[in-house]
Every structure is written in structure tokens, then in C-alpha cells.
Amino acid sequence: MRKPLLTLTAAAAAAVALASPAAAAPSGDTIVTFTVSTANLDISVPPAINLGAVFAGNSITGELGNVTVTDSRSALAATWTATVTSTAFTTGGGSAEETILPNLVEYWSGPALATTGTGVFVPGQPTQAGAVTLNVPRTAFSKTSGSGNNSATWAPDIRITVPASAVGGTYSGVITHSVA
């Protein structure tokens, strides 16, 4: 009768071996964290340009130089709009004959010279045919979608129509680009 007892014990041992998984190796978890740094939304423009000379009653056109928006906010929705406006251009004492109003200053952004990052970059006025006057703030360039850091560079042009009544002199004004 001993034989059935041995068979039962061997069968029980086999069942226990199948029911118990192999012992797991010791382990430990390490939580890893880091920070993606953020910075600002910035714009850089040339400090000054000289368009040259023009006679009263004519227009003068020239490139402003490269304008660059750098978005280092690392935002989920990294969109922005760059705007542009102009002051009056004056000489001497700034009398009516010594002033060229912003409605006589036209601007067009042209296409992007370079972009980085993801999303859609949109020039405000891709060609001269779309030129706008700068008597009110105008969209110069925008980014309408995408995330993370990005940048865009363009080289806008301006055209200033000098009234026939303008007096001689060196006229100065300020073209302001801003981004938000």
C-alpha cells in the first residue's frame, strides 16, 4: 500500500510546483524628474537704417533688415502675433511741412527667411501688393499653431510717400515691432 502514498506525494509536489511561480528577483524603483526650462517671447530688430535721399513728391522704399521673433516659452500652444506701427517722420521743428504722417508709411513683411520649431508661420503681407499703411498697428507676422520653442525671421520693406509740400531736411521716425 505504500506505492499509492508515494504517487500521491509526488503528484502533490508537482501541483505545488506548477501553482507557485518562480521567486521574483529583488527590485527597486527610482523616480526620475527634470525640468524643461522656459524663457521669454522676444523680438529683435535692427537698431537703425538710412533709406537714402528722395525729392519731395516722390516715394522712397527700403528694407528694414531682419526682424526675428524667438519663442523660448516651451508652451503647449506656442502661438504669437508680431505687430508693427509707425510714428510720424519729422525734421526741424516738426511743423506740418516738416512732418510725414504714418498714413504715408507703407509696410510689407515679405515671406519668412527662416523658421524653427513646429507649427504654421504666417507672413502678414507676403508681397508688396499686400502693403499696409502704418497709421494703426498691423500684423507683421504670426504663428498660428504648434508647440515648444520656435523662431521666425523676416526682412520687411517700407515705402514712404513724401508729400510735395515737404521741406528739405533729414527726417526721422520710429517703426515699432512688438510680439505677444
DSSP label of 93:
T
Give the SS3 label for residue 103.
helix
Q: Where do the domains of the chain lie?
A: 37-179
Give the SS3 label for residue 44.
strand
Q: pLDDT, tens digit, for every residue of 21-39?
A: 567 889 999 889 888 878 8
- Computed on alpha carbons and rounded to an integer, the radius of gyration of the chain in Å comes to 34
Give 2's Cβ-side CA count (13 Å radius). 0
Give 167's Cβ-side CA count (13 Å radius). 10
pTM: 0.82
Q: How many CB atoms lie within 10 A of CB 117?
A: 15
CA distance 121 to 2: 88
CA distance 6 to 98: 118
CATH T-level assignment (fold) for domain 37-179: Immunoglobulin-like (2.60.40)
The end-to-end CA distance of the chain, in Å, is 93
CA distance 148 to 75: 5
Q: pLDDT, tens digit, for every residue of 102-122?
A: 999 999 999 999 999 999 999
Handedness of CA 108, 110, 116, 119 (dihedral sign): positive
Q: pLDDT, tens digit, for every residue of 144-170?
A: 999 999 999 999 999 999 999 999 999
